[in-house]
Chains A and B, each alone.
Chain A
C-alpha cells in the first residue's frame, strides 16, 4: 500500500450571506493514496466544487470560508500554510483543471506563455527551456502541430483543444495531485472520451493522483478507484468503484445509477430521482435526503444518520444501522 497523499478530515466550508453562515461543505472526509483516483459524484449544489476549491485554498473570500477540519497533503495541513507557501504548492504539487475550457484560459496571452509561465515560476526554467517543455506537454496531450499552436491564442482553439491545453498546463510541473472539476461537462461526447483517455493515460504515465469531480457516473466507472458520493454538502456514500456500481447502498447512489439511460433492453421511461436538491438554507433536521427518498422512515425525519460502516462502504443511511439492515 502506497502512503497517504491527501487526507481530508471533517472539512467544513461555509458561505456568508446576509450575516448568515450557509454550509456548502459540511464535515466531509476522504483520503487519497499516491497515484490513486477518487471520483467525487453528486448533483449540482452538492458541494463537489467547493470541496476541490477548498483543497486549493481558492474559495473566494469573502463570502466563503473554510471554518473547520484539516486537509493533510503529504502530512502537512494545507489550511495552516501561509499564502506564499500555498502558492508554491498550487500549480506545482497540486494543480487543477476546470469545467469551462472556453473561459478558463486568458484570452490575451498565447498558449505557450500560459504554460511556460507555470514552469518558469515553479521549476526555475529559463524562457527557452520552459517553451521547449510547453511544446513537449502539448505533444503529450496529443495536440497536433505543437510548435505552431504554442504561438496561438485561446480563441484560435476549439473547446476540446483548450481543455487539452489546460491539462498540459496543469501537468507541466508533474504535480502529485490533479484535481479535475468536471473536465468534460462542457464538451461534445466524442471529445469527452478523448479528454478522459488523455487524463487516464497521463495519470498512468506520471503517477499523478487524481480527484475527478463529475456528475457523470460513466466517467467515474472509466477511471476512478474510489468514489465519494456527496449530497447537500455531506458525504453519503464512500466506497470502491466496484462497490458503488455493483452494490450501491445509499438510496441516493442507487437513484443516480438508475438515472443513467440504458441502450440495451426494452425502451423504458427514464428513471429520475424525484424532487430537487434542497438549497443549503432549506436544510432542516433529520436526513438531508429525506425529501426525495423512497425508503424514508420516522427516524429519518428527526435524526441525521452518521456515516455507518457497511461491508467495505461508508454509508449515511438509517437502513444500515448496526452494520446490518435494520428497519429504523
Chain B
C-alpha cells in the first residue's frame, strides 16, 4: 500500500468521475435551457425591435438547436473554456476563481468548527451514556438539528452583530466577517456529527478489544481516545465526503443571508439573470469539488482502517 498504489487509486477514481460529470452537464444544460425565461429579454429590456433581439440571440448562439449548443459548450469545456458570462461579459472561469475561495473558506471553517465540537461532545455523551452529560449533549444536538441553518444564521446575526455589535452584520473580507456564518453552519453540522460520533463510539466501546485494552492496564483516557476513537472514526470519515457536499451546497442559502459573494450566491444570481454559462460553470465546479471531497474521504478511510485497500 505505497504511494504508487495510492496514485493509481486516485487516478482510477478521477476516471470514474468523468461519466458523472458528463451527466451533470447534460442535466444542468437541459434544465436551464428548457426553463422559461430568456437572457436576451433581461439584457435588452421589453422595448426593442425584433431585429435587434434576433441579432443578440444570434450573437450568443442561442438561436441554434439545443444539441448544437450543447456540443459547442462541451467542446469548449474540454479545452478548459467555460465560456463567457452573458451578463458580465467576462470569462466564466475568471468569475468562478474569484468566487470559489469565498465558499470554500466558509465550508472548511464550518467543517473545522463542526468536528471541534462534535468529537468531544459525542465522546463525552457515549462514555457517560444515560447520565446528565449525555442528556446535555444530545439535547443540544437536537436543538441544533431542528434549527434551519439560515434561521440560526439570522439569530446569530441579530444577537452578535445587531445587538452586541461584536461582528459585522454581513459582507465579506475579514476574518470577523467569517465568524458568524461559519458558526451558523458549523454548529448545525456539529449537531448531526455529534450524534454520529456518539452512536459510533457506543458501538465500539462494547467490543472485545476494548476489554483487552483495559485488561492491559491502559488508562481509561488511552482506551477511549486512542483504542476506541480510532475505530469509531471509521464510519465518520466515510460520511465526511457527504458532509463536504452538504457544506458547499448548503452555503447557497447562508451566502445569501450574510451577503457573501460566494459560489452559491453567484449561482442564484445567475439563475435569476438566465446567465447560462455561469450557472453551468459554477455547477460543474461545485459537482467536481463534491466528488473531490468523496475521493478524499475514500483515501482517509483507507488511512484509518487498515482492512481497506486501495483498489
Which of B46-54, B206-214, B261-269, B288-296 participates in binding chain A? B206-214
The answer to whether B217 touches A89, judged by C-beta atoms less than 8 angstroms apart, is yes
Cβ < 8 Å to A, chain B residues 216-233: 216-219, 227, 230-231
A90: contacting residue among B207, B214, B234, B306, CB under 8 A: B214
Q: Do A108 and B305 touch across chains, with their CB atoms under 8 A apart?
A: yes
Roughly how many angstroms separate A56 CA and B211 CA in the complex, as a whole number? 11
Rounded to whole angstroms, the CA-CA distance of A90 and B222 in the bound complex is 15
Q: A107-B306, A108-B231, A108-B305 are in contact. Are A90 and B209 (CB under 8 A)?
A: no
Given contacts A103-B207, A155-B306, contact A98 B212 (CB under 8 A): yes
Q: State in angstroms the CA–CA spacing of A122 and B215 once bound together.
A: 13
**Chain B, 190-215, contact with A by CB distance < 8 Å: what is the 0/1 string?**
00000000000000000111011111
Q: Is B79 among interface residues, defined by CB-CB distance under 8 A? A: no
B215, B234, B305: the one contacting A91 at CB < 8 Å is B215
Q: Is the CB of A117 within 8 A of B216?
A: yes
A91 contacts which chain B residues (CB < 8 A)? Answer: 215-218
Using Cβ atoms and an 8 Å threshold, which residues of chain A touch B215?
A: 56, 58, 90-91, 95-96, 98
Task: Specify which chain A residues have a CB less than 8 angstroms from the CB of B231 in the assembled complex.
Answer: 106-108
How many contacts between A and B, using CB within 8 angstroms? 70
Task: A153 to B227: give the CA distance in the assembly, Å.
Answer: 14
Contact: A98 with B216, CB < 8 Å? no
Does B307 have its Cβ within 8 Å of any Cβ on chain A? yes
Q: How many B residues are at the interface, by size bracket? A: 20 to 34
Q: A139: CB under 8 A from chain B?
A: no
Binary B-proximity of A84-119 (CB < 8 A = 1, otherwise 0): 100111111001101010011111111000000110
Cβ A122 vs Cβ B217 within 8 A: yes
The complex places the Cα of A95 from the Cα of B217 at a distance, in Å, of 9
Instruction: Give CA–CA (A84, B220) in the complex, Å.
Output: 10
CA distance A103 to B213 in the complex (A): 12
Q: How far is the CA of A118 from the CA of B222 in the complex (A)?
A: 12
Query: What would be 16 A-B contacts, judged by CB atoms less than 8 Å apart?
Result: A56-B215, A58-B211, A87-B219, A90-B217, A98-B212, A103-B208, A104-B208, A104-B212, A107-B307, A108-B231, A108-B234, A108-B304, A117-B218, A121-B217, A153-B307, A155-B307
